[in-house]
Chain A
Amino acid sequence: MLRKEQNDLLTQTGPETPMGRLFRSYWVPALLPEELPQNECPPVRVKLLSERLIAFRDTNGRYGLMDEFCAHRGISLWFGRNEECGLRCPYHGWKYDVTGQCVDMPSEPEDSGFAKKVKLKSYPLIERGGVLWTYMGPADSQPPVPEWEFATVPAAQSFTSKRLQESNWLQAMEGGIDSSHVSFLHRGDLNSDPLFKGARGNQYNLSDARPVFEVVESSGGLYIGARRNAENGHYYWRITQWVMPSFTMIAPRGDHSIHGHFWIPIDDENCWTWSFDYHPTRALTDAEVAAMRAGKGIHAKVIPGTFRAVANKDNDYLIDRAAQKAGRTYSGVEGFAMQDSSLQESMGPIVDRTKETLVSTDSGIILARQRLLRAVKAFVETGATPPGVDTVHQRVRSAAVVLPPDQPFKDGAREAMIAHPGVAPASV
Protein backbone atom coordinates (compact mmCIF):
# COMPACT_ATOMS: atom_id res chain seq x y z
CA MET A 1 0.00 0.00 0.00
CA LEU A 2 0.93 3.63 -0.33
CA ARG A 3 -0.06 6.58 1.77
CA LYS A 4 -2.41 8.99 0.02
CA GLU A 5 0.26 11.65 -0.38
CA GLN A 6 2.62 9.09 -1.92
CA ASN A 7 -0.07 7.89 -4.31
CA ASP A 8 -0.85 11.47 -5.31
CA LEU A 9 2.83 12.20 -5.84
CA LEU A 10 3.40 9.25 -8.17
CA THR A 11 0.18 9.56 -10.16
CA GLN A 12 0.09 13.31 -10.84
CA THR A 13 2.22 14.30 -13.82
CA GLY A 14 1.00 17.73 -14.82
CA PRO A 15 3.34 20.70 -15.22
CA GLU A 16 5.18 21.63 -12.00
CA THR A 17 4.15 18.47 -10.16
CA PRO A 18 7.17 16.54 -8.86
CA MET A 19 6.41 13.44 -10.94
CA GLY A 20 5.55 15.64 -13.91
CA ARG A 21 8.94 17.28 -13.65
CA LEU A 22 10.61 13.87 -13.45
CA PHE A 23 8.78 12.65 -16.57
CA ARG A 24 9.98 15.81 -18.29
CA SER A 25 13.58 14.63 -17.83
CA TYR A 26 13.13 11.99 -20.55
CA TRP A 27 12.48 11.74 -24.24
CA VAL A 28 9.01 10.19 -24.39
CA PRO A 29 7.07 8.69 -27.31
CA ALA A 30 4.56 11.23 -28.60
CA LEU A 31 3.21 10.08 -31.97
CA LEU A 32 3.61 7.46 -34.64
CA PRO A 33 5.13 8.84 -37.85
CA GLU A 34 2.04 7.64 -39.72
CA GLU A 35 0.01 10.25 -37.84
CA LEU A 36 1.92 12.92 -39.74
CA PRO A 37 2.38 11.01 -43.01
CA GLN A 38 3.46 13.81 -45.35
CA ASN A 39 4.55 17.42 -45.55
CA GLU A 40 1.71 19.93 -45.00
CA CYS A 41 -0.62 17.15 -43.79
CA PRO A 42 -3.36 18.03 -41.29
CA PRO A 43 -2.11 18.85 -37.79
CA VAL A 44 -2.79 16.43 -34.94
CA ARG A 45 -4.01 17.19 -31.43
CA VAL A 46 -1.69 15.74 -28.81
CA LYS A 47 -2.18 15.67 -25.07
CA LEU A 48 0.84 14.66 -23.00
CA LEU A 49 1.59 15.06 -19.32
CA SER A 50 -1.63 17.09 -18.98
CA GLU A 51 -0.60 19.61 -21.65
CA ARG A 52 -2.66 20.17 -24.78
CA LEU A 53 -0.41 20.43 -27.80
CA ILE A 54 -0.61 20.45 -31.57
CA ALA A 55 1.76 18.47 -33.78
CA PHE A 56 2.39 19.22 -37.44
CA ARG A 57 4.84 18.51 -40.27
CA ASP A 58 5.72 21.57 -42.27
CA THR A 59 6.42 22.14 -45.97
CA ASN A 60 10.03 21.02 -45.57
CA GLY A 61 9.25 17.91 -43.53
CA ARG A 62 10.20 19.41 -40.18
CA TYR A 63 8.16 18.24 -37.20
CA GLY A 64 6.67 20.71 -34.73
CA LEU A 65 5.00 20.19 -31.36
CA MET A 66 3.66 23.27 -29.61
CA ASP A 67 0.88 24.80 -27.53
CA GLU A 68 -2.42 23.90 -29.18
CA PHE A 69 -3.87 27.40 -28.88
CA CYS A 70 -3.12 30.55 -30.84
CA ALA A 71 -1.53 33.28 -28.76
CA HIS A 72 -3.99 35.83 -30.15
CA ARG A 73 -7.51 34.73 -29.11
CA GLY A 74 -6.94 31.15 -27.96
CA ILE A 75 -8.22 29.37 -31.06
CA SER A 76 -7.28 25.71 -31.37
CA LEU A 77 -4.64 25.44 -34.06
CA TRP A 78 -6.10 22.06 -34.99
CA PHE A 79 -8.26 24.20 -37.32
CA GLY A 80 -5.09 25.73 -38.72
CA ARG A 81 -3.86 25.81 -42.30
CA ASN A 82 -0.57 23.94 -42.70
CA GLU A 83 1.07 25.96 -45.45
CA GLU A 84 4.37 27.50 -46.51
CA CYS A 85 6.49 26.33 -43.59
CA GLY A 86 4.05 27.13 -40.85
CA LEU A 87 0.70 26.54 -39.23
CA ARG A 88 -1.66 29.46 -39.75
CA CYS A 89 -4.60 30.20 -37.45
CA PRO A 90 -7.70 30.50 -39.65
CA TYR A 91 -9.26 33.17 -37.42
CA HIS A 92 -6.94 36.14 -38.12
CA GLY A 93 -4.08 34.53 -40.00
CA TRP A 94 -1.37 34.41 -37.36
CA LYS A 95 1.19 31.83 -38.46
CA TYR A 96 3.68 29.80 -36.44
CA ASP A 97 6.75 27.81 -37.45
CA VAL A 98 7.77 24.43 -35.93
CA THR A 99 9.47 26.16 -33.02
CA GLY A 100 6.27 27.99 -32.09
CA GLN A 101 7.66 31.30 -33.33
CA CYS A 102 5.03 33.54 -34.83
CA VAL A 103 6.31 34.37 -38.32
CA ASP A 104 3.36 36.21 -39.82
CA MET A 105 0.71 38.49 -38.35
CA PRO A 106 -1.35 39.89 -41.25
CA SER A 107 -3.54 42.01 -39.00
CA GLU A 108 -0.53 44.08 -37.91
CA PRO A 109 1.47 46.51 -40.06
CA GLU A 110 3.91 44.59 -42.23
CA ASP A 111 7.06 45.94 -40.64
CA SER A 112 5.85 46.31 -37.06
CA GLY A 113 8.07 43.45 -35.86
CA PHE A 114 5.47 42.44 -33.32
CA ALA A 115 5.32 38.86 -34.64
CA LYS A 116 8.89 38.31 -33.49
CA LYS A 117 7.78 38.92 -29.92
CA VAL A 118 5.14 36.17 -30.02
CA LYS A 119 6.22 32.58 -29.50
CA LEU A 120 4.18 29.62 -28.39
CA LYS A 121 5.64 27.12 -25.98
CA SER A 122 7.09 24.33 -28.09
CA TYR A 123 8.99 21.11 -27.68
CA PRO A 124 11.40 19.26 -29.97
CA LEU A 125 9.84 16.42 -31.95
CA ILE A 126 12.22 13.94 -33.57
CA GLU A 127 11.75 10.70 -35.51
CA ARG A 128 13.73 7.77 -34.28
CA GLY A 129 13.04 4.10 -34.85
CA GLY A 130 9.47 4.42 -36.02
CA VAL A 131 8.41 6.74 -33.20
CA LEU A 132 8.17 10.52 -32.91
CA TRP A 133 9.75 11.44 -29.58
CA THR A 134 9.49 14.63 -27.62
CA TYR A 135 11.35 16.12 -24.69
CA MET A 136 9.23 18.44 -22.55
CA GLY A 137 11.80 19.55 -19.98
CA PRO A 138 14.11 22.56 -19.74
CA ALA A 139 16.05 23.08 -22.96
CA ASP A 140 19.37 23.26 -21.15
CA SER A 141 18.83 19.81 -19.65
CA GLN A 142 17.88 18.01 -22.89
CA PRO A 143 19.34 14.48 -22.75
CA PRO A 144 20.89 12.54 -25.65
CA VAL A 145 18.43 11.00 -28.11
CA PRO A 146 16.87 7.68 -27.06
CA GLU A 147 18.95 4.54 -27.44
CA TRP A 148 16.35 1.87 -26.72
CA GLU A 149 17.33 -1.04 -28.94
CA PHE A 150 13.94 -1.34 -30.66
CA ALA A 151 14.43 2.23 -31.89
CA THR A 152 17.92 1.63 -33.24
CA VAL A 153 17.53 -1.55 -35.30
CA PRO A 154 16.68 -1.33 -39.03
CA ALA A 155 13.04 -0.47 -39.67
CA ALA A 156 12.24 -3.93 -41.05
CA GLN A 157 13.15 -5.47 -37.70
CA SER A 158 10.76 -3.44 -35.59
CA PHE A 159 7.05 -2.76 -35.19
CA THR A 160 5.45 -0.27 -32.80
CA SER A 161 1.81 0.46 -31.99
CA LYS A 162 0.02 2.68 -29.52
CA ARG A 163 -3.29 2.38 -27.74
CA LEU A 164 -5.37 4.59 -25.50
CA GLN A 165 -5.58 3.26 -21.97
CA GLU A 166 -8.23 4.83 -19.79
CA SER A 167 -6.34 4.73 -16.53
CA ASN A 168 -3.49 6.47 -14.79
CA TRP A 169 -0.06 5.52 -16.11
CA LEU A 170 1.15 3.94 -12.87
CA GLN A 171 -1.41 1.17 -12.58
CA ALA A 172 -0.80 0.32 -16.22
CA MET A 173 2.97 0.23 -15.73
CA GLU A 174 2.63 -1.83 -12.56
CA GLY A 175 0.86 -4.47 -14.62
CA GLY A 176 3.98 -4.70 -16.75
CA ILE A 177 6.17 -5.67 -13.81
CA ASP A 178 3.60 -7.86 -12.09
CA SER A 179 4.99 -11.16 -13.36
CA SER A 180 2.79 -13.28 -11.11
CA HIS A 181 -0.39 -12.48 -13.06
CA VAL A 182 0.86 -14.19 -16.22
CA SER A 183 0.18 -17.70 -14.90
CA PHE A 184 -3.46 -16.76 -14.41
CA LEU A 185 -4.68 -14.04 -16.70
CA HIS A 186 -2.73 -15.02 -19.82
CA ARG A 187 -2.52 -18.79 -19.36
CA GLY A 188 -4.87 -19.54 -22.23
CA ASP A 189 -2.85 -17.70 -24.84
CA LEU A 190 0.73 -18.98 -24.63
CA ASN A 191 0.17 -21.93 -26.93
CA SER A 192 -2.24 -20.25 -29.33
CA ASP A 193 -1.02 -16.72 -29.97
CA PRO A 194 1.09 -16.74 -33.16
CA LEU A 195 3.63 -14.41 -31.59
CA PHE A 196 4.26 -16.70 -28.61
CA LYS A 197 3.49 -20.28 -29.51
CA GLY A 198 6.05 -23.01 -30.17
CA ALA A 199 8.80 -21.89 -27.81
CA ARG A 200 10.39 -24.50 -25.55
CA GLY A 201 10.11 -22.05 -22.68
CA ASN A 202 6.32 -22.23 -22.90
CA GLN A 203 6.48 -25.79 -21.64
CA TYR A 204 8.39 -24.67 -18.55
CA ASN A 205 5.68 -22.09 -18.01
CA LEU A 206 2.87 -24.57 -18.35
CA SER A 207 4.49 -27.38 -16.37
CA ASP A 208 5.37 -25.18 -13.38
CA ALA A 209 2.47 -22.90 -12.56
CA ARG A 210 3.98 -21.70 -9.29
CA PRO A 211 7.04 -19.68 -10.23
CA VAL A 212 9.34 -18.19 -7.63
CA PHE A 213 10.25 -14.55 -8.07
CA GLU A 214 13.41 -12.59 -7.54
CA VAL A 215 13.56 -8.83 -7.77
CA VAL A 216 16.95 -7.19 -8.17
CA GLU A 217 17.84 -3.51 -8.38
CA SER A 218 19.45 -2.44 -11.62
CA SER A 219 21.13 0.86 -12.37
CA GLY A 220 18.12 1.99 -14.41
CA GLY A 221 15.34 0.36 -12.44
CA LEU A 222 14.71 -3.28 -11.69
CA TYR A 223 15.21 -6.77 -13.01
CA ILE A 224 12.25 -8.99 -12.22
CA GLY A 225 13.09 -12.67 -12.52
CA ALA A 226 10.52 -15.45 -12.56
CA ARG A 227 12.08 -18.82 -11.83
CA ARG A 228 10.66 -22.18 -12.82
CA ASN A 229 12.09 -25.66 -12.63
CA ALA A 230 13.97 -26.93 -15.68
CA GLU A 231 15.86 -30.16 -16.37
CA ASN A 232 18.72 -31.52 -14.22
CA GLY A 233 17.99 -29.31 -11.24
CA HIS A 234 18.49 -26.14 -13.25
CA TYR A 235 16.18 -23.14 -13.25
CA TYR A 236 14.40 -21.55 -16.19
CA TRP A 237 14.46 -17.78 -15.69
CA ARG A 238 12.32 -15.19 -17.39
CA ILE A 239 13.80 -11.78 -16.71
CA THR A 240 11.76 -8.63 -17.23
CA GLN A 241 13.45 -5.24 -17.43
CA TRP A 242 11.89 -2.16 -15.88
CA VAL A 243 13.68 1.10 -16.59
CA MET A 244 12.45 4.32 -15.01
CA PRO A 245 9.99 5.74 -15.25
CA SER A 246 7.78 3.54 -17.42
CA PHE A 247 9.68 1.27 -19.79
CA THR A 248 9.27 -2.48 -19.52
CA MET A 249 10.60 -5.29 -21.65
CA ILE A 250 9.17 -8.79 -21.40
CA ALA A 251 11.32 -11.91 -21.73
CA PRO A 252 11.34 -13.38 -25.26
CA ARG A 253 10.08 -16.81 -26.28
CA GLY A 254 12.05 -18.97 -28.73
CA ASP A 255 12.91 -17.07 -31.89
CA HIS A 256 9.90 -14.80 -31.57
CA SER A 257 10.51 -11.07 -31.41
CA ILE A 258 11.21 -9.29 -28.12
CA HIS A 259 8.53 -6.96 -26.91
CA GLY A 260 7.76 -4.36 -24.34
CA HIS A 261 5.96 -1.18 -23.46
CA PHE A 262 6.11 2.44 -22.51
CA TRP A 263 3.24 3.94 -20.52
CA ILE A 264 3.10 7.67 -21.09
CA PRO A 265 0.64 9.89 -19.22
CA ILE A 266 -1.89 11.74 -21.34
CA ASP A 267 -3.32 13.27 -18.18
CA ASP A 268 -3.76 11.83 -14.72
CA GLU A 269 -6.65 9.58 -15.77
CA ASN A 270 -5.47 8.34 -19.17
CA CYS A 271 -2.23 7.14 -20.71
CA TRP A 272 -0.81 5.90 -23.96
CA THR A 273 0.21 2.28 -23.98
CA TRP A 274 3.06 2.03 -26.46
CA SER A 275 3.87 -1.52 -27.52
CA PHE A 276 6.95 -2.50 -29.48
CA ASP A 277 8.18 -5.74 -30.99
CA TYR A 278 11.59 -6.15 -32.56
CA HIS A 279 14.17 -8.76 -33.37
CA PRO A 280 17.84 -7.82 -32.98
CA THR A 281 19.10 -10.02 -35.82
CA ARG A 282 16.39 -10.48 -38.43
CA ALA A 283 13.56 -8.72 -40.17
CA LEU A 284 10.08 -9.37 -38.87
CA THR A 285 8.19 -11.64 -41.24
CA ASP A 286 5.10 -10.49 -43.11
CA ALA A 287 3.08 -12.93 -41.03
CA GLU A 288 4.44 -11.49 -37.80
CA VAL A 289 3.69 -7.92 -38.80
CA ALA A 290 0.23 -8.92 -40.00
CA ALA A 291 -0.42 -10.57 -36.63
CA MET A 292 0.75 -7.47 -34.78
CA ARG A 293 -1.47 -5.25 -36.90
CA ALA A 294 -4.35 -7.61 -36.16
CA GLY A 295 -3.86 -7.12 -32.43
CA LYS A 296 -2.04 -10.33 -31.57
CA GLY A 297 0.79 -10.61 -29.07
CA ILE A 298 0.94 -7.52 -26.91
CA HIS A 299 -0.79 -5.31 -29.48
CA ALA A 300 -4.50 -4.52 -29.67
CA LYS A 301 -7.00 -4.21 -32.48
CA VAL A 302 -8.10 -0.58 -32.56
CA ILE A 303 -11.10 1.18 -34.02
CA PRO A 304 -9.98 2.40 -37.49
CA GLY A 305 -8.94 6.03 -37.43
CA THR A 306 -8.46 6.00 -33.67
CA PHE A 307 -6.15 4.48 -31.09
CA ARG A 308 -9.00 3.19 -28.95
CA ALA A 309 -9.27 -0.59 -28.73
CA VAL A 310 -12.22 -2.29 -30.39
CA ALA A 311 -12.75 -4.10 -27.08
CA ASN A 312 -13.15 -1.25 -24.62
CA LYS A 313 -14.95 -0.36 -21.44
CA ASP A 314 -18.07 0.82 -23.29
CA ASN A 315 -18.69 -2.72 -24.56
CA ASP A 316 -17.32 -4.54 -21.48
CA TYR A 317 -14.27 -5.50 -23.54
CA LEU A 318 -16.44 -7.95 -25.49
CA ILE A 319 -16.16 -10.38 -22.61
CA ASP A 320 -17.03 -13.94 -23.62
CA ARG A 321 -18.34 -15.82 -20.59
CA ALA A 322 -18.48 -19.09 -22.51
CA ALA A 323 -14.78 -18.79 -23.35
CA GLN A 324 -14.10 -17.96 -19.72
CA LYS A 325 -16.01 -21.01 -18.50
CA ALA A 326 -14.40 -23.28 -21.07
CA GLY A 327 -10.92 -21.99 -20.20
CA ARG A 328 -10.14 -20.72 -23.70
CA THR A 329 -9.39 -17.41 -22.00
CA TYR A 330 -9.00 -17.07 -18.26
CA SER A 331 -10.94 -13.81 -17.87
CA GLY A 332 -13.17 -14.10 -20.92
CA VAL A 333 -11.42 -11.17 -22.60
CA GLU A 334 -9.44 -11.93 -25.72
CA GLY A 335 -5.79 -10.97 -26.26
CA PHE A 336 -2.96 -10.13 -23.89
CA ALA A 337 -3.34 -6.36 -24.27
CA MET A 338 -7.01 -6.10 -23.46
CA GLN A 339 -6.84 -8.80 -20.81
CA ASP A 340 -4.46 -6.47 -18.97
CA SER A 341 -6.12 -3.22 -19.87
CA SER A 342 -9.65 -4.34 -18.98
CA LEU A 343 -8.61 -5.17 -15.44
CA GLN A 344 -6.38 -2.14 -14.98
CA GLU A 345 -9.12 0.21 -16.19
CA SER A 346 -11.63 -1.53 -13.91
CA MET A 347 -9.61 -0.26 -10.93
CA GLY A 348 -10.87 3.23 -11.74
CA PRO A 349 -8.93 6.10 -13.29
CA ILE A 350 -6.54 6.35 -10.35
CA VAL A 351 -6.53 3.35 -8.06
CA ASP A 352 -6.67 4.06 -4.34
CA ARG A 353 -3.48 2.40 -3.14
CA THR A 354 -4.27 3.06 0.51
CA LYS A 355 -6.75 0.18 0.26
CA GLU A 356 -4.51 -2.47 -1.27
CA THR A 357 -3.62 -5.74 0.41
CA LEU A 358 -0.23 -6.45 -1.10
CA VAL A 359 1.46 -9.81 -0.74
CA SER A 360 5.04 -10.89 -1.21
CA THR A 361 4.67 -11.57 -4.94
CA ASP A 362 3.99 -7.85 -5.24
CA SER A 363 7.53 -7.05 -4.11
CA GLY A 364 8.54 -5.90 -7.58
CA ILE A 365 5.75 -3.34 -7.57
CA ILE A 366 6.64 -2.25 -4.04
CA LEU A 367 10.30 -1.80 -4.93
CA ALA A 368 9.48 0.05 -8.15
CA ARG A 369 7.32 2.54 -6.26
CA GLN A 370 10.07 3.08 -3.73
CA ARG A 371 12.64 3.63 -6.44
CA LEU A 372 10.34 6.15 -8.11
CA LEU A 373 9.73 7.96 -4.81
CA ARG A 374 13.45 8.14 -4.17
CA ALA A 375 14.20 9.36 -7.68
CA VAL A 376 11.55 12.09 -7.46
CA LYS A 377 12.85 13.23 -4.08
CA ALA A 378 16.46 13.34 -5.27
CA PHE A 379 15.46 15.11 -8.47
CA VAL A 380 13.36 17.77 -6.77
CA GLU A 381 15.70 18.37 -3.84
CA THR A 382 19.12 18.13 -5.49
CA GLY A 383 18.50 18.05 -9.22
CA ALA A 384 19.91 14.52 -9.45
CA THR A 385 19.47 13.03 -12.91
CA PRO A 386 16.95 10.21 -12.55
CA PRO A 387 17.76 6.64 -13.59
CA GLY A 388 16.77 5.88 -17.18
CA VAL A 389 17.96 9.19 -18.64
CA ASP A 390 21.47 7.84 -19.20
CA THR A 391 21.46 5.98 -22.51
CA VAL A 392 23.47 3.17 -20.87
CA HIS A 393 20.33 2.39 -18.90
CA GLN A 394 18.40 2.20 -22.16
CA ARG A 395 20.63 -0.33 -23.91
CA VAL A 396 19.09 -3.30 -22.16
CA ARG A 397 17.30 -6.50 -23.06
CA SER A 398 15.00 -8.90 -21.35
CA ALA A 399 16.13 -12.51 -21.36
CA ALA A 400 14.98 -16.10 -20.98
CA VAL A 401 17.76 -18.40 -19.79
CA VAL A 402 18.42 -21.71 -18.03
CA LEU A 403 20.95 -21.40 -15.20
CA PRO A 404 22.46 -23.54 -12.42
CA PRO A 405 20.49 -23.38 -9.17
CA ASP A 406 22.86 -21.27 -7.10
CA GLN A 407 23.71 -18.67 -9.73
CA PRO A 408 22.31 -15.15 -9.35
CA PHE A 409 20.54 -14.38 -12.63
CA LYS A 410 22.09 -10.94 -12.54
CA ASP A 411 25.44 -12.73 -12.82
CA GLY A 412 24.48 -15.64 -15.09
CA ALA A 413 22.55 -13.48 -17.54
CA ARG A 414 24.73 -10.38 -17.25
CA GLU A 415 25.61 -10.15 -20.95
CA ALA A 416 22.18 -11.35 -22.04
CA MET A 417 20.60 -8.34 -20.36
CA ILE A 418 22.69 -5.84 -22.34
CA ALA A 419 21.69 -4.86 -25.88
CA HIS A 420 24.62 -5.83 -28.10
CA PRO A 421 23.81 -4.78 -31.68
CA GLY A 422 23.51 -7.71 -34.04
CA VAL A 423 23.73 -10.31 -31.31
CA ALA A 424 20.85 -12.75 -30.98
CA PRO A 425 18.76 -12.45 -27.83
CA ALA A 426 19.03 -14.99 -25.01
CA SER A 427 15.81 -16.87 -25.43
CA VAL A 428 14.38 -20.32 -24.77
Chain B
Amino acid sequence: MSSAAEARFRIQTPNPTSRVVKVISLDTASHHEIATLVDEVPTADLVVMVASAGADAHAAAIIGEACSLKHVMTTTLVIHAASATDEALSKTLAQVRPWSLMVVIASDEAYVEEILRSFR
Protein backbone atom coordinates (compact mmCIF):
# COMPACT_ATOMS: atom_id res chain seq x y z
CA MET B 1 0.00 0.00 0.00
CA SER B 2 3.01 2.30 0.04
CA SER B 3 3.88 1.96 -3.63
CA ALA B 4 3.98 4.84 -6.08
CA ALA B 5 0.92 3.38 -7.80
CA GLU B 6 -1.05 3.28 -4.56
CA ALA B 7 -0.02 6.84 -3.73
CA ARG B 8 -2.30 8.00 -6.56
CA PHE B 9 -5.31 6.98 -4.52
CA ARG B 10 -4.56 9.18 -1.56
CA ILE B 11 -7.18 11.72 -0.60
CA GLN B 12 -6.12 15.01 -2.12
CA THR B 13 -8.18 17.30 0.11
CA PRO B 14 -5.78 19.77 1.74
CA ASN B 15 -5.24 19.36 5.46
CA PRO B 16 -6.88 22.03 7.64
CA THR B 17 -4.65 25.03 8.23
CA SER B 18 -6.66 27.03 10.68
CA ARG B 19 -4.10 27.26 13.44
CA VAL B 20 -3.22 30.58 14.99
CA VAL B 21 0.45 31.47 15.23
CA LYS B 22 1.47 34.66 17.03
CA VAL B 23 4.90 36.13 16.32
CA ILE B 24 6.73 38.78 18.31
CA SER B 25 10.17 40.33 18.09
CA LEU B 26 11.60 40.49 21.58
CA ASP B 27 14.19 43.03 20.41
CA THR B 28 11.70 45.69 19.43
CA ALA B 29 8.42 44.85 21.14
CA SER B 30 6.88 47.73 23.08
CA HIS B 31 5.10 47.27 26.40
CA HIS B 32 1.83 47.69 24.53
CA GLU B 33 2.69 44.98 21.99
CA ILE B 34 3.69 42.59 24.73
CA ALA B 35 0.48 43.26 26.67
CA THR B 36 -1.56 42.76 23.51
CA LEU B 37 0.12 39.45 22.79
CA VAL B 38 -0.43 38.27 26.36
CA ASP B 39 -4.13 39.04 25.90
CA GLU B 40 -4.15 37.03 22.66
CA VAL B 41 -2.36 33.99 24.04
CA PRO B 42 -5.56 32.07 24.88
CA THR B 43 -6.53 32.06 21.21
CA ALA B 44 -3.09 31.01 19.93
CA ASP B 45 -1.89 27.53 18.99
CA LEU B 46 1.74 28.61 18.90
CA VAL B 47 3.69 31.68 19.99
CA VAL B 48 6.96 32.35 18.19
CA MET B 49 9.41 34.73 19.83
CA VAL B 50 12.29 36.13 17.79
CA ALA B 51 15.37 37.47 19.56
CA SER B 52 18.79 38.61 18.42
CA ALA B 53 21.68 36.89 20.18
CA GLY B 54 22.91 39.30 22.84
CA ALA B 55 19.77 41.43 22.89
CA ASP B 56 17.65 41.85 25.98
CA ALA B 57 14.97 39.15 25.90
CA HIS B 58 13.40 39.69 29.33
CA ALA B 59 9.95 39.88 27.72
CA ALA B 60 10.23 36.14 27.09
CA ALA B 61 9.35 35.59 30.74
CA ILE B 62 6.15 37.64 30.53
CA ILE B 63 4.98 35.98 27.33
CA GLY B 64 6.22 32.56 28.35
CA GLU B 65 4.38 32.66 31.65
CA ALA B 66 1.13 33.52 29.90
CA CYS B 67 1.70 30.65 27.47
CA SER B 68 2.53 28.27 30.28
CA LEU B 69 -0.72 29.13 32.11
CA LYS B 70 -2.76 28.50 28.95
CA HIS B 71 -0.70 25.48 27.80
CA VAL B 72 0.30 27.17 24.55
CA MET B 73 3.38 25.94 22.69
CA THR B 74 6.32 28.36 22.53
CA THR B 75 9.20 28.50 20.09
CA THR B 76 12.06 30.98 20.18
CA LEU B 77 14.21 31.77 17.18
CA VAL B 78 17.56 33.27 18.18
CA ILE B 79 19.07 35.00 15.16
CA HIS B 80 22.38 36.65 14.33
CA ALA B 81 24.07 33.94 16.38
CA ALA B 82 27.08 33.72 14.09
CA SER B 83 28.11 37.28 14.85
CA ALA B 84 27.47 37.12 18.60
CA THR B 85 29.95 36.19 21.32
CA ASP B 86 29.36 33.09 23.42
CA GLU B 87 28.64 35.34 26.38
CA ALA B 88 26.05 37.33 24.48
CA LEU B 89 24.34 34.17 23.22
CA SER B 90 24.47 32.68 26.69
CA LYS B 91 22.75 35.74 28.14
CA THR B 92 19.90 35.53 25.66
CA LEU B 93 19.54 31.79 26.12
CA ALA B 94 19.34 32.19 29.88
CA GLN B 95 16.35 34.48 29.35
CA VAL B 96 14.48 32.45 26.76
CA ARG B 97 15.19 28.83 27.68
CA PRO B 98 12.89 28.59 30.71
CA TRP B 99 9.98 29.72 28.54
CA SER B 100 10.66 28.01 25.24
CA LEU B 101 9.73 24.47 24.35
CA MET B 102 11.78 24.75 21.15
CA VAL B 103 14.79 26.98 20.50
CA VAL B 104 16.37 27.50 17.09
CA ILE B 105 19.71 29.27 16.92
CA ALA B 106 20.32 30.50 13.39
CA SER B 107 22.85 32.66 11.65
CA ASP B 108 20.52 35.04 9.90
CA GLU B 109 16.95 36.21 9.94
CA ALA B 110 16.06 34.83 6.51
CA TYR B 111 15.46 31.50 8.25
CA VAL B 112 12.71 33.10 10.35
CA GLU B 113 10.51 33.60 7.30
CA GLU B 114 11.08 30.04 6.11
CA ILE B 115 10.32 28.54 9.50
CA LEU B 116 7.15 30.60 9.86
CA ARG B 117 6.08 29.60 6.35
CA SER B 118 6.45 25.96 7.37
CA PHE B 119 4.08 26.51 10.31
CA ARG B 120 1.28 27.87 8.11
Instruction: List the interface of chain A (C-beta within 8 A of B).
Output: 1-2, 166-167, 212-217, 269, 313, 345-350, 352, 355-363, 366-367, 370, 405-408, 410-411
Say whether, besides A269-B4, A358-B118, A363-B75, A212 and B101 are in contact (CB < 8 Å): yes
Instruction: Provide the residues of chain B in CB contact with A350, threshold 8 Å.
Output: 4
Say whether, besides A359-B73, A363-B115, A405-B97, A348 and B4 are in contact (CB < 8 Å): yes
Cβ A217 vs Cβ B115 within 8 A: no
Instruction: List the interface of chain B (C-beta within 8 A of A).
Output: 1-4, 6-7, 10, 14-15, 17, 46, 48, 73-75, 81-82, 86, 89-90, 93-94, 97, 100-107, 111, 114-115, 117-120
Cβ A355 vs Cβ B118 within 8 A: no
A43 and B69 CA atoms in complex are apart in Å by: 65
Cβ A358 vs Cβ B119 within 8 A: yes
Say whether, besides A357-B15, A411-B86, A217 and B105 are in contact (CB < 8 Å): yes
The 10 closest A-B pairs by CB, nearest first: A406-B94, A360-B75, A360-B102, A348-B7, A214-B103, A216-B105, A366-B118, A411-B86, A215-B104, A370-B114
The tally of CB-CB contacts under 8 A between chains A and B is 100
- Give the Cβ gap from A171 to chain B, nearest Cβ, in Å: 11
Cβ A360 vs Cβ B101 within 8 A: yes
Instruction: Provide the residues of chain A in CB contact with B73, threshold 8 Å.
Output: 359-360
- Of the residues B15, B82, B90, B102, contact of A406 by C-beta under 8 Å: B90
- Give the Cβ gap from B11 to chain A, nearest Cβ, in Å: 9
Q: A2-B118, A361-B101 are in contact. List 20 more A-B contacts (CB 8 A).
A: A167-B2, A214-B102, A214-B104, A214-B105, A216-B81, A217-B82, A269-B4, A348-B4, A348-B10, A349-B2, A352-B10, A360-B74, A360-B75, A360-B101, A360-B102, A366-B115, A405-B94, A406-B94, A408-B90, A408-B93
Instruction: Provide the residues of chain B in CB contact with A357, threshold 8 Å.
Output: 15, 17
Q: Which residue of A lies closest to B106 (CB)?
A: A217
19 inter-chain pairs at a CB distance below 8 angstroms, sorted by A residue, are A2-B118, A212-B101, A212-B103, A213-B102, A216-B105, A217-B81, A352-B10, A355-B14, A357-B15, A359-B73, A360-B48, A360-B75, A360-B119, A363-B75, A370-B115, A406-B97, A407-B90, A411-B86, A411-B90
Q: Which residue of A lies closest to B98 (CB)?
A: A405
- Give the Cβ gap from B117 to chain A, nearest Cβ, in Å: 8
Say whether, besides A1-B118, A349-B7, A360-B101, A367 and B106 are in contact (CB < 8 Å): yes
- Give the Cβ gap from A404 to chain B, nearest Cβ, in Å: 10
Instruction: Provide the residues of chain A in CB contact with B119, threshold 8 Å.
Output: 358-360
A362 and B101 CA atoms in complex are apart in Å by: 12
Cβ A367 vs Cβ B115 within 8 A: yes
Cβ A406 vs Cβ B103 within 8 A: no
Q: Which residue of A lies closest to B14 (CB)?
A: A355
A357 and B85 CA atoms in complex are apart in Å by: 35
- Give the Cβ gap from B107 to chain A, nearest Cβ, in Å: 5
